[in-house]
Structure 1
Amino acid sequence: MAYYDCEAQSFFATTVDVDMSSLYKRFLRELVGGAAILDAGCGSGRDARAFRERGYAVTAMEPCPPLAALAEAHCGLSVEILRFQDIDWVGRFDGIWACASLLHVPLAELPDVLQRLAHALRPGGILYVSFKLGRGERENGGRRFTDLDEAALGELLRLVPALTVAEIWTTADRRPDREDERWLNALLRYSHSP
């Protein structure tokens, strides 16, 4: 949080114009037009704006107040200042977009956070997540990261049986000069059991 409080403007500038359309395509094909989407950890507001412009009902949340203010100005939506660990929505969204945001949650807290996100989905809803490809927790440049590979994600999901993998793939970073960085992407389906 301290990193983003201080670096909100530079983070906004380096991420707001990144073309994410290929990832949007995979996520949005799982949803009907006008579906309710949560942009969880919306950062610059880039993705919330893209979904809103495509006609979806978007809710955006971001734990860092300075970044939330920049996101609001960019996406034209009110951005809730909220940590993943405090999410308590139930059955509100058809899709949740958690792009490069859950990677800042400590590994020990991820099962609870994923369970909270699952409960925020309607039955059959879809959750998109992305993590830097790797394994373990680390600090880099004042930020902490939880890196996952496919096996580590599988281990994590065994603790959250309500979520099952619909699709999993890897991509290169979309930012200039960072193409060597690899990302683990997954679409997770919420299988509600009464």
Structure 2
Amino acid sequence: MSVNYYNNNAQEFYNGTVNVEMQSLYNEFLPLIPKGGAILDAGCGSGRDTLAFKSQGFRVHSIDASAELAQLAEALIKQPVEVTTFQQFSASVQFDAVWACASLLHVPFDELPLAFSNLAIPLNEGGVFYCSFKYGDDEVERNGRFFTNLDEARLNSILATTSLTAQKLWITGDLRKGREKEQWLNAILVKG
């Protein structure tokens, strides 16, 4: 259901997210990755983060479930975006890190263990996995998009079924103008 929203509203979503300042989150994530390392941008959306990572010398493989968004991202990042879901994704290469910024929240709660596990398969041992969810303990639908909201307890219950453990959890306000009051749960996970 969310994929249809993004296919139908790709340009509007792209315009609203491509220039959001993300440096505060990059500062938590990028120092944990080897110089020139490989990052999986899981749910790359506009391609904003892929572009930022590439500009700092990282190798990035980008995926998104929306074919329309993938097209817009490809034009920005000047490389292909693989159209696939987290549950169907399969990699033939290994990654030093996974970046899933505000993307896994569209996966139903009962499918999140599979999505996390699947994305962690190509992650190197000791690799880092960043994810973020709107803060809460429910599932909601808004304007044609489905959201799974997580708090620390719900995230930890999912991680217990995977090869990932939480290294750091923190809460931030939304980085988009006018949405600062919306709370986000951010997590740095480690495969081990």
- TM-score with structure 2 length normalisation? 0.97
Q: Output one character per residue of 1:88-111: Cα deviation in whole Å (capped at 9) or x when no partner.
A: 226610000000000000111100
2:16 to 14, 17, 23: 14
Q: Output one character per residue of 1:23-59: Cα deviation in whole Å (capped at 9) or x when no partner.
A: 0111111111100001000000000000000000111
Matches of 1:106 and 1:17 in 2, distance apart? 28
1:148 is the counterpart of 2:156: no
The amino acid across from 1:166 in the alignment is Q
Match of 1:163 in 2: 164
Superposed, 1:13-162 pairs within 5 Å as: 13-89=15-91, 92-160=94-162, 162=163
Q: The residue matched to 1:84 in structure 2 has which SS? A: coil
1:151 positional shift? 1.0
Q: The residue matched to 1:77 in structure 2 has which SS? A: coil
CA RMSD of aligned residues (A): 0.9
Match of 1:178 in 2: 179
| Structure 2 unaligned residues grouped into runs of 5+ | none
Matches of 2:175 and 2:50 in 1, distance apart? 18
Q: The residue matched to 2:9 in structure 1 has which SS? A: helix
The amino acid across from 2:183 in the alignment is R
Q: The residue matched to 2:32 in structure 1 has which SS? A: coil
Question: Is the contact made by 1:41 and 1:101 (CA closer than 8 Å) also made in structure 2?
Answer: yes
Question: Is the contact made by 1:91 and 1:122 (CA closer than 8 Å) also made in structure 2?
Answer: no
Number of equivalenced pairs: 190
- TM-score with structure 1 length normalisation? 0.96
Structure 1 residues 190, 47: CA separation in 2 closer, same or farther (over 3 Å shift)? Answer: same
